[in-house]
Amino acid sequence: MSLSTRMVVVLTAIGLLSGSFLAIVGEVTKERIKLNRKKEIEQAVLLVVPEAATSQTVYEEGSLAVHLAKKEDGEPVGLGLQASGSGFQDKITLIIGTNLDLTRITSLTIIDQKETPGLGAKITDKMAFLRYWENRDCTQALKLRKPPVEDPQALAANEVNAITGATISSQSVLNIVNAAVARAKQLQAEGKFKPGN
Amino acid sequence: MSLLVIFISAVLINNFVFYYFLGLCPYLGVSRRLGPSLSMGMAVTFVLSLTAVSSWMINHWVLIPNGLDYLQIVSFILVIAALVQLVEMFIRKVSPPLYQAMGIYLPLITTNCIIMGLALLAALRNYNFVETVVFGISAGLGFTLAIVLMAAIREQLDLADVPKPLQGAGIALITAGIIALAFMGFSGIIK
Amino acid sequence: MPKKSLTQELVKGVWSENPVTRQLLGLCSVLAVSNAVINGIAMGLAVTFVLVFSSLLVSLVRKLIPNQVRIASYIVIIASFVTIADRVLAAYFPDLSKAMGPYVPLIVVNCIILGRAEAFASKNNVGRATIDAVGMSAGYVLTLLLMGIVRELLGNRTILGHQVLGKAFEPWVVMLLPPGAFIMLGLIISVANFIEIKAKQRRKSS
Angle of helix B72-94 relative to helix C70-92, nearest 10 degrees, comes to 150
Which pLDDT value is given to residue C17?
84
**What pLDDT, in 10s, does the model give residues C45-60?**
899 999 999 999 999 9
Which pLDDT value is given to residue C1?
47
Which pLDDT value is given to residue B176?
92
Number of neighbouring beta carbons within 10 Å of residue A57: 16
- Mean pLDDT for chain C overall: 86
| Helices (H), ranges, chain A | 3-48, 167-189
C152 close to C159: Cβ distance less than 8 angstroms: yes
Angle at C70 between CA C66 and CA C71, to 5 degrees: 160
* Nearest neighbour of A29 by CB, restricted to C76, C80, C88: C88
- Verify whether the Cβ–Cβ distance B165 to C197 is below 8 Å: yes
- Whether A165 has its CB under 8 Å from any CB of chain C: the answer is no
C37 close to C145: Cβ distance less than 8 angstroms: yes
List all residues 6 or more positions away from C155 whose beta carbon is below 8 Å from its beta carbon: A117, A118, C35, C171, C172, C173, C174, C175, C176, C180
* Nearest neighbour of A22 by CB, restricted to C72, C80, C177: C80
Mean pLDDT in residue range A120-141: 85
A66 close to A57: Cβ distance less than 8 angstroms: yes
* Nearest neighbour of B169 by CB, restricted to C86, C111, C189: C189
Quick one: closest CA in A to B15, which residue? A89
Quick one: closest CA in A to B69, which residue? A26
User: Which H or E element spans position A86?
Assistant: strand A76-86
For CA atoms C103, C106, C107, C111, the dihedral sign is negative
Quick one: closest CA in C to B181, which residue? C179
Which pLDDT value is given to residue A59?
86
| Pairing relationship of beta strands A159-161 and A143-145 according to DSSP bridges | parallel
- Mean pLDDT for chain A overall: 85
- Verify whether the Cβ–Cβ distance C66 to A117 is below 8 Å: no
Which pLDDT value is given to residue B13?
82
* Nearest neighbour of C80 by CB, restricted to A21, A29, A117: A21
Specify burial of residue B90 (Cβ count, 10 A radius: 0-12, 13-18, 19+). Answer: exposed
- Whether A156 has its CB under 8 Å from any CB of chain C: the answer is no
What is the three-class DSSP state of A136?
Answer: strand
Quick one: closest CA in B to C29, which residue? B21
Which pLDDT value is given to residue A23?
87
DSSP conformational letter for A146: S
Q: Is the pLDDT of residue A197 over 50?
A: no
The C-alpha atoms of residue A82 and residue A41 are separated, in whole angstroms, by 8
The C-alpha atoms of residue A105 and residue A153 are separated, in whole angstroms, by 15
CA distances B120 to B56, B64, B70, C44, Å, are 10, 14, 12, 21
- Verify whether the Cβ–Cβ distance A36 to C94 is below 8 Å: yes
Specify burial of residue A4 (Cβ count, 10 A radius: 0-12, 13-18, 19+). Answer: exposed
Which pLDDT value is given to residue B36?
80
**What pLDDT, in 10s, does the model give residues B89-113?**
887 888 787 777 665 667 667 667 8
pTM: 0.83
Mean pLDDT in residue range C83-109: 84
* ipTM attached to this prediction: 0.85
